[in-house]
Amino acid sequence: MINATSVGLKGTRFTNLPLNQLRKNSIVSDLVYRPLWTPLLREARKVGLRTHTGTGMLLYQGAESLALWTGHHPKIEVMRKALLDALQ
């Protein structure tokens, strides 16, 4: 399941979302990146689902945008560290 809405920003949460009805091999991805561990991701982990934060989407979208605008292809690991440091 993928959340690509603003629900999760500033601690907001979905209500009555039956995560326990998803298959046990499901992955819950939240494209919200602040907070890093949104209420959705925390709830998904509580019922034993794998989770994926929104940082990967932000990281690679930012790197691709930089390359398109400047012609410079940034080092992903440098960007990843800067991103994670900024989100702490």
88 residues of the chain, pLDDT tens digit each: 999 999 998 889 999 999 999 999 999 999 999 999 999 999 999 999 999 999 999 999 999 999 999 999 999 999 999 999 999 8
How many residues are present in the chain?
88
Contact 30, 41 (CB under 8 A): yes
Q: In the chain, where are the structural domains located?
A: 1-53, 55-88
**pTM given for the model:** 0.85
Residues facing residue 50 across a β-bridge: 27
3-state secondary structure of 3: strand
Nearest alpha carbon to residue 36 among 19, 11, 5, 4: 11
DSSP labels, 9-30: EET---SS--GGGS-TT-EEEE
Q: Is the peptide bond before 35 cis (omega within 30 degrees of 0)?
A: yes
For residue 88, the model assigns a pLDDT of: 86
The class level of CATH for 1-53 reads alpha beta
